[in-house]
Amino acid sequence: MTTANAEMLEKIKSGQGFIAALDQSGGSTPKALKGYGIDEGEYSGDEEMFALIHAMRSRIVTAPCFNGDKVIGAILFERTMDGEADGKPIPTLLWERGVVPFLKVDKGLEAEADGVQLMKPNADLDALCERAVAKGVFGTKMRSVVNLANPAGVKAIVAQQFAEAARIAAHGLVPIIEPEVNIKSAERDAADRLLLAELVAALDAWTGAPVMLKLSLPTEAGLFQPLVDHPKVLRVVALSGGFARPEACVELAKNPGIIASFSRALLEDLRHQMSDAEFNGSLGGAIDEIHAASVA
């Protein structure tokens, strides 16, 4: 393990902060831009769209408040990993600020079957992992979704996540396994419990280095404590899952040992039209609020 990787590992393992999710990809980018105050009629084509989202992310990661004091990691979209800010590759810039870089590696979701949405096949995963390692990325993130408490579906989700995690870990990267339970599901609590059992079984059988888990906040506070305490888990992080930031922070604070990895709840008040002072003030307030809930 390189010195930088050892330092990143320690930061993620014991850092008092949260992980920013800056990984909206093609399908979710128009929605992210709309939230930022840029309507679809203001750009044409993917290149203009991605240039605008890159400008937004660059503004975030170069803001004075976006540093390792409270933000211990950031999850990037592939184009963001390949981009620059302040004349530096973004993973390099992040780590200079004390923020550990991660990369979203999944290719999106399959149609629902057995109450879940598996990840699409990812033939390019190994090549992408090699590029990420070369750019100084520490870990990866991949998302699938549980919509119903279907035992076969939940088992399939966890099996696929851990199979892909093994491919990723072979490159020396730390995988963030993200089987999101849909917080709008009528079977959310039962799905949480099925997922917990499958994750514990998979972790017990896992022979590699510790992994990370990114999970929806459970209906029952503290339900995921066995995962927080599991020796094969480096860190458990939570997605906001559609909760607005105040509610997401309240729910997060009920689950000791779990830290935030919020996307929309981090960025929801930021607008393209803000002055730098307004932008930095708004982002700083959001970071403070999410940090407080993460270390509560």
Q: CA separation (Å) from 198 to 45, 160, 223?
A: 42, 12, 14
d(CA 235, CA 108): 24
Contact 155, 114 (CB under 8 A): no
C-alpha span between 222 and 141 (Å, rounded): 23
Asked if 226 and 197 count as a contact pair (C-beta separation under 8 A), the reply is: no
CA distance 23 to 18: 15
Q: Among residues 155, 198, 214, 251, which one is catalytic?
A: 214
Task: Considering the candidates 164, 178, 198, 251, report the single residue annotated as catalytic.
Answer: 178
Using left for φ > 0, alpha for ψ between -120 and 50, and beta otherwise, residue 74 falls in beta
The Cα–Cα gap between 172 and 4 comes to 13
Residue 137 near residue 99 (C-beta atoms within 8 A): no
Coil vs helix vs strand at 224:
coil
Cα angle 76, 173, 239 (rounded to 5 degrees) comes to: 45
- Does residue 214 carry a catalytic annotation? yes
SS3 letters across 164-193? HHHHHHCCCCEEEEEEEECCCCCCHHHHHH
Chain centroid to CA 275: how far? Answer: 28
d(CA 96, CA 91) in angstroms, rounded, equals 9
Residue 251 catalytic? no
Active site residues: 178, 214
